[in-house]
């Protein structure tokens, strides 16, 4: 019975492969276990635990779900949470060495600090921009020579405005946007992103139009730099590991996973922080260690890592992804009800 329970709940890392990777969430797969899904059982087992939260990063544990749901959640974060991004560029003058289409592509990838929940999707791409569906920026920069410097060789000293940065982008309110948004609320996320380099006489004169979109349409709309998950590692020492072997075992893992204790004057290995393990199987390369350690992963315990591009805080992105998933479930339920 214990072996069956382990197969149902753990993925095991072996020297030359993985075991127990198949799904086991089907009723009747194992004698003595009721694997029938129920909302009561799900609510009892499901948990979310916040591990680390900063301005741009969030790490949390999602416990008690199947891999399919975890992956759906990750894909929604990548491709279906909307943001605002530059969609059209009107080029009035571009005498830089960067071609128009390359310049427009570079501009499109600049993350824009604007709450997409305050805007609507633009229904007609050719329609005139309005204050409800478009943000407008102006980029007007001309490079000139610094006449006060003669003997310098550094372009930063020789020229003025020779580096076109995102700080040069000026927000131009449309309609009543100036009353809705405060100064500085709509801007590039980072001010020092290099857009182009100019030399005296070269200039850029552009108008940039941002619209609401999702990463499924183009990667520039994706609100996350990374969104990933991994299973919670478990490391079990099958026998006491002491002496030189203890130090050898420690070196097989990420720093902090294995610690050495001094027990009666002898070094003894201890699993301190298995969560830090990065799925390395280095220990299986050593004949004197590989039979002393068992590596497993908890099948329904996912460690999520979400890094925002800075457009929205990561906790808001997670909340938005949950709302998108709920809307999808409701849509499926509605369609099923139609064919009952």
Say yes or no to pLDDT of 162 above 90. yes
Q: In CATH, what number is assigned to the domain containing residue 110? A: 2.170.120.12
What's the burial of 13, exposed, middle or buried (CB within 10 Å: 0-12/13-18/19+)? buried
The mean per-residue pLDDT over the stretch 115-142 comes to 94
For residues 230 and 197, membership in a common domain is answered with: no
CA 298, CA 128: separation in Å to the nearest integer?
53
pLDDT above 70: percentage of residues in the chain:
96
- Residue 27 sits in the same domain as residue 101: no
| pLDDT > 90? residue 230 | yes
Q: How many domains does the chain have?
A: 2
Q: Answer yes or no: do 116 and 163 share one domain.
A: yes
pLDDT tens-digit readout, 236-269:
999 999 999 999 999 999 999 999 999 888 999 9
pLDDT computed for residue 68 by the predictor: 87
What domain range is 143 assigned to? 83-221
Please, are residues 68 and 302 in contact by the beta-carbon 8 Å criterion?
A: no
Q: Which residues contact 330 (CB under 8 A, 6 or more apart)?
A: none
30/89 same-domain check: no
Position 34 scores a pLDDT of 72
Indicate the pLDDT class of residue 23, thresholds 50, 70 and 90: low
pLDDT digits (tens, 9 = 90+) for 264-317: 889 999 999 999 998 888 999 999 998 999 999 998 899 999 999 999 999 999
Is there a single domain that holds both residue 59 and residue 111? no
The radius of gyration of the chain's CA atoms, rounded to the nearest angstrom, is: 28
Cα–Cα nearest to 236, from 167, 291, 317, 181: 291
Residue 26 has pLDDT above 70, yes or no: no
Across the chain, mean pLDDT equals 91
Regarding whether 157 and 216 lie in a shared domain, the answer is: yes
Q: In this prediction, what percent of the chain has a pLDDT beyond 90?
A: 74
**pTM, rounded to two decimals:** 0.86
The verdict on 122 and 161 lying in the same domain is yes
Same domain as 44, residue 160: no
Residue 22 has pLDDT above 80, yes or no: no
pLDDT at res. 191: 94
User: What confidence tier does 187 reach under pLDDT thresholds 50, 70, 90?
Assistant: very high
Whether residue 230 is found in the same domain as residue 133: no
Query: Does residue 98 belong to any structural domain of this protein?
Result: yes
User: Are 90 and 205 found together in one domain?
Assistant: yes
Statement: residue 29 has pLDDT above 90? no
**In this structure, are 215 and 87 located in the same domain?**
yes
323 inside domain? no
Asked whether residue 273 is assigned to any structural domain, the reply reads no
How far apart, in whole angstroms, are the C-alpha atoms of residue 213 and residue 222? 9
Is 170 a domain residue?
yes
221 pLDDT tier (thresholds 50, 70, 90)? very high
Q: Is residue 287 part of a domain?
A: no
What is residue 3's predicted lDDT score, i.e. its pLDDT? 72
Average confidence (pLDDT) over 200-213: 96
Q: What is the pLDDT at residue 201?
A: 93
Q: Looking at residue 24, what is its pLDDT?
A: 60
C-alpha distances in Å from residue 147, one per residue of 140, 142, 159: 21, 15, 9
The CATH number of residue 8's host domain is: 3.30.1360.10
Q: Is 314 part of a structural domain of the chain?
A: no
The secondary structure of 202-266, three-state, reads CEEEEEEEEEEECCCCCHHHCCEEEEEEEEEEEEEECCCCEHHHHHHHHCCCCCCCEEEEEECCE
């Amino acid at each position: 019975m214990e072996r069956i329970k382990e197969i149902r709940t753990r993925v095991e890392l072996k020297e030359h492969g993985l075991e127990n990777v198949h799904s086991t969430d089907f009723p009747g797969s194992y004698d003595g276990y009721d694997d029938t899904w129920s909302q009561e059982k799900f609510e009892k087992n499901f948990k979310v635990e916040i591990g680390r939260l900063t301005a741009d990063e969030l790490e949390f544990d999602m416990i008690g779900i199947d891999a399919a749901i975890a992956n759906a959640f990750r894909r929604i974060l990548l491709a279906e949470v909307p943001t605002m991004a530059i969609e059209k560029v009107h080029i009035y003058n571009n005498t830089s060495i960067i071609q128009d289409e390359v310049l427009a592509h570079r501009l499109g990838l600049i993350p824009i600090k604007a709450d997409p929940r305050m805007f609507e999707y633009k229904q007609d791409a050719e329609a005139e921009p309005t204050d409800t569906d478009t943000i407008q920026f102006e980029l007007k920069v001309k490079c000139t020579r610094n006449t006060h410097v003669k003997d310098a060789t550094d372009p930063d000293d020789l020229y003025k405005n020779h580096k076109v940065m995102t700080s040069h982008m000026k927000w131009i309110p449309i309609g009543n946007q100036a009353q809705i948004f405060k100064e500085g609320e709509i801007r590039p996320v980072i001010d020092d992103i290099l857009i182009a380099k100019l030399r005296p006489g070269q200039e850029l004169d552009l108008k940039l139009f941002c619209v609401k979109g999702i990463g499924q349409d183009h990667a520039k709309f994706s609100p996350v730099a990374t969104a990933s998950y991994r299973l919670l590692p478990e490391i079990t020492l099958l026998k006491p590991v002491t002496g030189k072997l203890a130090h050898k075992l420690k070196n097989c893992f990420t720093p902090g996973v294995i610690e050495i204790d001094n027990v009666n004057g002898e070094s003894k290995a201890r699993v301190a922080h298995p969560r830090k393990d990065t799925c390395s199987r280095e220990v299986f390369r050593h004949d004197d260690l590989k039979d002393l350690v068992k590596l497993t992963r908890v099948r329904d315990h996912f460690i999520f890592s979400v890094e925002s591009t800075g457009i929205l805080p990561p906790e808001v992105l997670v909340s938005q992804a949950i709302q998108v998933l709920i809307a999808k479930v409701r849509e499926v339920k509605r369609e099923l009800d139609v064919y009952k």
